[in-house]
C-alpha cells in the first residue's frame, strides 16, 4: 500500500490527566467495573506488577474479552495503555492478533458503533508480556454509553491483562514552538563566511547574495513511473523535480513485474530510477516483498516451501542487482504489522529479519526501512510498530528508518488531522491550498536567503538550513562571481576569494511552466553563452480571432534568453485566455491564447 504525496510531520505532545479506569491494576475484586460476559474472567497472581492480573479463558466467541464502561466525552482525545500475556498458541497458526475497541451507544437512535483503537499482530506465547497501547479520539456524535473491551479472534487462546490505564489528553499549546525548535536543531547548521578580497579592492563595493538551492532534508512523493518517462507528461516531470528532492517508485513491486516467471522485467521502474538519480533526487524503492496474497504474483501462492525459498532468493538477488547504485532507500518487507504470509509459509517468525540481513550483505549502501499504515491518521498500530522496530534492532537487523503512511479519508472526524490527498488539483495540476502551503514552507520558511554588503565586514556567520547553496557576488551591482557550497553537518566554513577576475557561469533563467488558466505547473531552465545581456521586447505575430488561436514567440539566437512573457488583444478587449510559457524541442516559447468572443487577434510580447 502506498500513498501519493507525503509531506507529513505529526508529532502530538499531550498533557496527561486523571485515570478513568476503575481498578486499573486489578488489585481489588472485579465486580462493579470489569466485566466478562459468556466466558471465565478471574484474578490471578501471575501479574506483571503488583499482586494481581486478570485471566481470560473458556471463551466461546471471538468478541469476548474483559471490558469496562468508561466515562468518555464526544470529540475528545484519550490515551490507552495495557499489558497482555498470551498463555498458549493455536496449532497450525503462528501468530495471534489482539484488538481493543470502544463500543458507543448513540443517543439519537440507540444503535451501537464499534471503534477499533488499537491492534497488535504477530503475538506468540513466547513473547511474554507485551504492551497494547494507543491514543484515540472519540466520535463527535453524541453517545450515552461507551464500553472499552479486549478481544482476540481465536477462542481457544487464553490470555492475561494487567496494568491498564485510560486518561484524557489535551493538545500541548506549545507544540508549534517545540516543533520549530526541533527543526532548527535537526535541519539547520552554522555557516561561517570568509570573503578574501585582493588588497586593491574596496569591500564597500561588494554585495553578496546567499541562496539555499536544494534541501538536504528529504521532501518527497510517490512518482508515476510511466508519466516520468512519457514526453507527453513533461509538465508533471517538471513539477516533481521542482517540488521534491526524493522520489518513491512502486514499479519494483513483485506484482508489477512485466516479464514472466524466471524472466522478470522491471525496465520501466529502472529507467525511472535512473532519471531521478540524474536529476539529483534520492530514490526510495517500494517494495521488494509484501506479506499479503493479493499483492503477490499468483504463481508463487501454491509453491512448495523449497520452491518458494528458491523463488524468493532469486527475486531478492535480482532486485538488489538491478537497483544497485540507484536505490537510496529500500522497503524490503512491506506492512508487516498487517500481513505475515512469508512467516507463516516458512514457519519462521523472524523470516523477514533474514531478508533484511541478506539485502544489506549484498548491497550495504541503501538504507533499509520498515513501512506500515494506521500509524498516524488512524493510529491503531503505532505502539506495535515501534515495538517491531525495537525488536529488529535488538536482533541486530540492519534497520535504518521507519516508513509512516497516513491514509486520511474524508470521513475522519478530526479537525486537527489534515487531509493530504495531494498538493495539486485537476488534470492540469493546479497547485491547491495544501500545495501553496507546502511551497511556502519549503521555499521560504524552511529555506535560507541572505543579502549582505561586505562594507560591514568580510567575515560573518549565518544560521542556515542544510543543503546546497549558491553565493552570488556583485561589485557595484555587476555580477562578478558565483560560488556553490554545501552545508551537510552542524557547521561549515566557506572561503571565497575575490579579485579582478570575473568568474560567471553562462546566465540561466528558471521559467515557470504555465497552464492556460494562469497557474504554474512546473519550471524549466534555459541559458545563453553571452555574458553581456541587455533587455529588449519583441512582439510575436498576431493570432486569428478565433477561440484557442495561438501566437508564439521565442529566442532565435544563442545569445538571447527569455525572461518574461505577456500578451494583449489588438483592440484591448478582455476576451482572451492569456499566455503561457512552455518548452518544446529545447526552445522556451512564449505563447498567447485567444479567447471566445473576440473580434481581433492576440499577440504575445517576449522580453
User: What's the pLDDT tens digit per position in 160-183?
Assistant: 999 999 999 987 788 889 999 999
DSSP β-bridge partners for residue 285: 249, 330
Task: Give the tens place of pLDDT for each residue, 274-286.
Answer: 999 999 999 999 9
What's the CATH code, domain 226-406?
3.20.20.80
Q: What value does the mean pLDDT take over residues 283-301? A: 96
Place 429 in a pLDDT band, splitting at 50, 70 and 90. Answer: low
Model pLDDT, residue 563: 74
* Portions of the chain given CATH number 2.60.120.260: 14-171
pLDDT over threshold 60, residue 427:
no
Percent with pLDDT over 70 in the chain: 83
* Portions of the chain given CATH number 3.20.20.80: 226-406
Model pLDDT, residue 308: 98
Class of domain 508-606: mainly beta
User: Whole-number mean pLDDT of the chain?
Assistant: 86
Q: What's the burial of 567, exposed, middle or buried (CB within 10 Å: 0-12/13-18/19+)?
A: buried
Contact between 594 and 605 under an 8 Å Cβ cutoff? The reply is no
Q: Are strands 77-86 and 96-106 parallel, antiparallel or unpaired?
A: unpaired
Model pLDDT, residue 483: 97
Q: What value does the mean pLDDT take over residues 488-496? A: 98
Place 362 in a pLDDT band, splitting at 50, 70 and 90. Answer: very high
pLDDT over threshold 70, residue 426:
no
Task: Give the tens place of pLDDT for each residue, 384-416.
Answer: 999 999 999 999 999 999 998 876 554 443 434
Ramachandran area for residue 16 (φ above 0: left; ψ -120 to 50: alpha; else beta): beta
Which of 102-111, 493-502, 549-558 shows the highest mean pLDDT?
Answer: 102-111
CA dihedral over 68, 69, 70, 73, signed as positive or negative: positive
Model pLDDT, residue 532: 56
Q: Is 377 helix (H, G, I), strand (E, B) or coil?
A: coil
Q: How far apart are the C-alpha atoms of 209 and 197, rounded to whole Å?
A: 16
Task: Give the tens place of pLDDT for each residue, 117-155.
Answer: 999 989 999 999 999 999 999 999 999 999 999 998 799
Looking from the CA of 176 toward its CB, the CA atoms found within 13 Å total 1
Contact between 230 and 486 under an 8 Å Cβ cutoff? The reply is no
Q: What value does the mean pLDDT take over residues 38-45? A: 97
Place 9 in a pLDDT band, splitting at 50, 70 and 90. Answer: very low
Nearest to residue 152, comparing CAs of 127, 130, 129, 121? 121
Contact between 52 and 43 under an 8 Å Cβ cutoff? The reply is yes
Q: How far apart are the C-alpha atoms of 213 and 123, rounded to whole Å?
A: 48
Task: Give the tens place of pLDDT for each residue, 249-267.
Answer: 999 999 999 999 999 999 9
Model pLDDT, residue 553: 78
Place 420 in a pLDDT band, splitting at 50, 70 and 90. Answer: very low
Q: Are strands 430-431 and 467-475 parallel, antiparallel or unpaired?
A: unpaired
pLDDT over threshold 70, residue 603:
no
Model pLDDT, residue 509: 55
Q: Is 392 helix (H, G, I), strand (E, B) or coil?
A: helix
* Portions of the chain given CATH number 2.60.120.690: 508-606
Model pLDDT, residue 221: 94
Model pLDDT, residue 504: 61
Q: What value does the mean pLDDT take over residues 223-238? A: 94
Place 1 in a pLDDT band, splitting at 50, 70 and 90. Answer: very low
Q: What value does the mean pLDDT take over residues 348-355? A: 97
Model pLDDT, residue 542: 77
Please state which architecture CATH assigns to domain 14-171.
Sandwich (2.60)
Place 11 in a pLDDT band, splitting at 50, 70 and 90. Answer: very low
Amino acid at each position: 500500500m502506498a500513498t501519493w504525496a507525503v509531506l507529513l510531520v505529526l508529532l502530538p505532545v499531550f498533557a496527561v490527566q486523571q485515570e478513568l479506569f476503575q481498578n486499573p491494576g486489578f488489585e481489588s475484586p472485579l465486580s462493579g467495573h470489569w466485566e466478562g460476559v459468556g466466558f471465565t474472567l478471574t484474578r490471578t497472581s501471575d501479574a506483571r506488577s503488583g499482586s494481581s492480573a486478570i485471566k481470560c479463558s473458556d471463551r466461546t466467541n471471538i468478541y469476548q474479552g474483559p471490558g469496562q464502561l468508561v466515562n468518555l466525552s464526544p470529540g475528545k482525545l484519550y490515551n490507552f495503555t495495557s499489558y497482555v500475556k498470551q498463555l498458549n498458541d493455536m496449532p497450525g497458526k503462528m501468530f495471534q492478533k489482539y484488538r481493543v475497541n470502544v463500543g458507543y451507544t448513540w443517543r439519537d437512535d440507540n444503535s451501537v458503533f464499534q471503534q477499533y483503537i488499537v491492534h497488535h499482530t504477530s503475538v506468540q506465547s513466547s513473547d511474554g508480556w507485551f504492551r497494547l497501547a494507543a491514543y484515540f479520539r472519540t466520535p463527535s456524535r453524541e453517545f450515552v454509553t461507551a464500553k472499552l473491551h479486549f478481544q482476540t479472534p481465536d477462542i481457544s487462546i487464553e490470555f492475561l491483562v494487567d496494568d491498564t490505564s485510560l486518561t484524557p489528553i489535551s493538545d500541548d499549546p506549545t507544540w508549534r514552538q517545540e516543533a520549530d525548535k526541533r527543526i532548527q536543531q535537526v535541519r539547520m547548521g552554522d555557516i561561517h563566511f570568509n570573503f578574501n578580497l585582493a588588497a586593491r579592492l574596496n569591500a564597500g563595493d561588494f554585495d553578496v547574495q546567499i541562496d539555499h538551492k536544494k534541501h538536504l532534508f528529504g521532501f518527497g512523493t510517490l512518482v508515476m513511473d510511466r508519466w516520468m518517462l512519457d514526453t507527453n507528461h513533461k509538465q508533471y516531470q517538471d513539477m516533481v523535480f521542482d517540488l521534491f528532492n526524493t522520489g518513491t517508485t512502486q514499479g519494483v513491486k513483485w506484482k508489477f513485474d512485466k516479464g514472466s516467471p524466471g524472466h522478470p522485467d522491471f525496465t520501466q521502474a529502472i529507467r525511472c530510477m535512473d532519471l531521478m538519480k540524474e536529476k539529483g533526487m534520492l530514490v526510495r524503492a517500494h517494495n521488494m516483498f509484501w506479506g499479503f496474497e493479493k499483492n503477490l504474483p499468483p504463481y508463487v501462492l501454491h509453491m512448495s516451501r523449497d520452491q518458494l525459498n528458491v523463488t524468493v532468493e532469486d527475486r531478492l538477488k535480482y532486485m538488489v542487482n538491478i537497483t544497485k547504485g540507484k536505490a537510496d532507500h529500500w522497503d524490503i518487507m512491506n506492512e508487516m504489522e498487517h500481513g505475515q504470509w512469508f512467516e507463516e509459509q516458512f514457519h519462521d517468525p523472524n523470516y523477514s529479519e533474514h531478508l533484511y540481513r541478506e539485502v544489506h550483505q549484498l548491497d550495504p549502501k541503501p538504507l533499509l526501512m520498515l513501512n506500515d499504515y494506521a500509524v498516524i491518521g488512524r493510529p491503531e498500530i503505532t505502539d506495535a510498530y515501534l515495538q517491531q522496530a525495537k525488536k529488529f534492532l535488538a536482533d541486530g537487523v540492519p534497520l535504518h528508518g521507519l516508513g509512516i503512511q497516513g491514509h486520511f479519508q474524508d470521513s475522519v472526524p478530526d479537525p486537527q488531522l489534515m487531509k493530504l490527498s495531494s498538493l495539486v488539483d485537476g488534470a492540469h495540476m493546479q497547485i491547491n491550498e495544501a500545495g501553496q502551503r507546502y511551497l511556502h514552507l519549503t521555499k521560504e520558511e524552511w529555506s535560507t536567503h541572505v543579502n549582505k554588503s561586505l562594507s560591514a565586514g568580510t567575515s560573518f556567520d549565518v544560521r542556515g538550513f542544510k543543503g546546497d547553496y549558491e553565493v552570488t557576488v556583485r561589485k557595484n551591482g555587476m555580477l562578478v562571481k558565483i560560488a556553490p557550497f554545501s552545508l551537510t553537518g552542524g557547521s561549515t566554513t566557506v572561503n571565497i576569494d575575490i579579485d579582478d577576475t570575473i568568474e560567471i557561469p553562462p546566465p540561466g533563467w528558471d521559467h515557470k511552466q504555465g497552464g492556460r488558466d494562469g497557474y504554474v505547473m512546473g519550471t524549466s531552465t534555459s541559458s545563453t553563452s553571452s555574458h553581456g545581456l541587455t533587455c529588449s521586447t519583441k512582439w510575436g505575430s498576431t493570432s486569428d480571432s478565433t477561440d484557442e488561436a495561438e501566437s508564439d514567440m521565442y529566442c532565435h539566437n544563442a545569445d538571447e534568453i527569455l525572461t518574461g512573457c505577456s500578451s494583449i488583444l489588438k483592440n484591448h478587449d478582455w476576451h482572451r485566455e492569456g499566455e503561457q510559457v512552455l518548452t518544446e524541442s529545447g526552445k522556451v516559447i512564449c505563447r498567447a491564447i485567444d479567447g471566445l468572443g473576440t473580434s481581433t487577434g492576440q499577440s504575445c510580447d517576449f522580453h
